[in-house]
Amino acid sequence: GQNIDQPTEMTATEGAIVQINCTYQTSGFNGLFWYQQHAGEAPTFLSYNVLDGLEEKGRFSSFLSRSKGYSYLLLKELQMKDSASYLCAVRDQDDKIIFGKGTRLHILP
């Protein structure tokens, strides 16, 4: 079956760095997305990876290893507004998007 795993919750301190991991087992692979979702709001797109390696976008970076079925989202210089859920999603060989259950990130002052 198709499966995406990510931690349920994480806590980090304002100004610090946090890494949110995602592992996946899917029918084929056509790319991995990370979304941010604040409570009660719509998910918003953060990053896309399809080749191995690191994609950097300001304070956020995303890494992919296709051979290991593994990705992480790295958030630097954490701010209180980064308190949100982070969703890992994979596009499979049939162009279907499968979402993980999300990681709720708490930022402490």
Partner 1 sequence: EAQVTQNPRYLITVTGKKLTVTCSQNMNHEYMSWYRQDPGLGLRQIYYSMNVEVTDKGDVPEGYKVSRKEKRNFPLILESPSPNQTSLYFCASRRQGNNQPQHFGDGTRLSIL
Q: Find the binder of partner 1 among 44, 57, 77, 108 (CB under 8 A).
A: 44
Q: Find the binder of partner 1 among 75, 100, 105, 107 (CB under 8 A).
A: 100
Helix (H, G, I), strand (E, B) or coil at 80: helix
Q: Find the binder of partner 1 among 14, 41, 56, 77 (CB under 8 A).
A: 41
CB 90 within 8 A of CB 26: yes
**β strands within the chain, DSSP E:** 3-5, 9-13, 18-25, 32-37, 44-49, 53-57, 60-65, 70-75, 84-91, 97-99, 103-108
Tell me which stretch binds partner 1 (CB under 8 A): 10-18, 42-50, 61-69, 74-82: 42-50
Number of residues this chain uses to bind partner 1 (CB under 8 A): 21
Q: Find the binder of partner 1 among 43, 73, 86, 105 (CB under 8 A).
A: 43
> One-letter amino acid identity for 91?
R
Q: Contact letters (x/-) for partner 1, 16-35, by CB under 8 A? A: --------------xx-x-x
Structure tokens at 22: 């995602």
